[in-house]
Amino acid sequence: MYSEFLNEYITDVQYFEGFIGAFGTILSFIYFRRVLKLRNMSVVVGLSFLMTWILRKSLMNLYVNLRNDTENKYNVNIMNNEMKGVNLYILFIILVTSVLVYNVALKKISYVSKLVYVFFIAFFYFFVKQ
């Protein structure tokens, strides 16, 4: 619906790359602050940038390979409905990010924030869905 209009300004690959960048930032912050318990913020920020960059590049390569799959070797049959591998990958990233965001929150997440997040996820999925 809107994807043809928005494709003039931002492509699905660029949009997904932004989402993966946010995912990598959350994941790296959790890892360095909570798992390794680093307290020096300059070290955390530097290492988080590096980890985010590596995650973004590797996950984007996987996304582009799934998106350009012409042989349909990554497609999955779920209850006699064939689902493209790239759509499963997108849904997996959304699910993992949602769980991480909910578990990272230091205080209760407001309903407005949850609605904004759901809107962003819905817009994101319908924009990049193949």
The domain of 96 spans 3-128
8 A C-beta contact, residue 16 and residue 128: yes
CA-nearest of 22, 48, 21, 23 to 34 is 48
Sign of the CA dihedral running 15, 76, 82, 92: negative
Q: How many CB atoms lie within 10 A of CB 41?
A: 11
Q: Mean pLDDT over residues 25-33, rounded?
A: 81
CA-nearest of 24, 89, 86, 87 to 56 is 24
Count how many domains the chain has. 1
Lookup: tokens for 34: 């909570």
* Least confident window among 14-23, 31-40, 41-50, 80-89: 80-89
- What's this model's pTM, rounded to 2 decimal places? 0.64
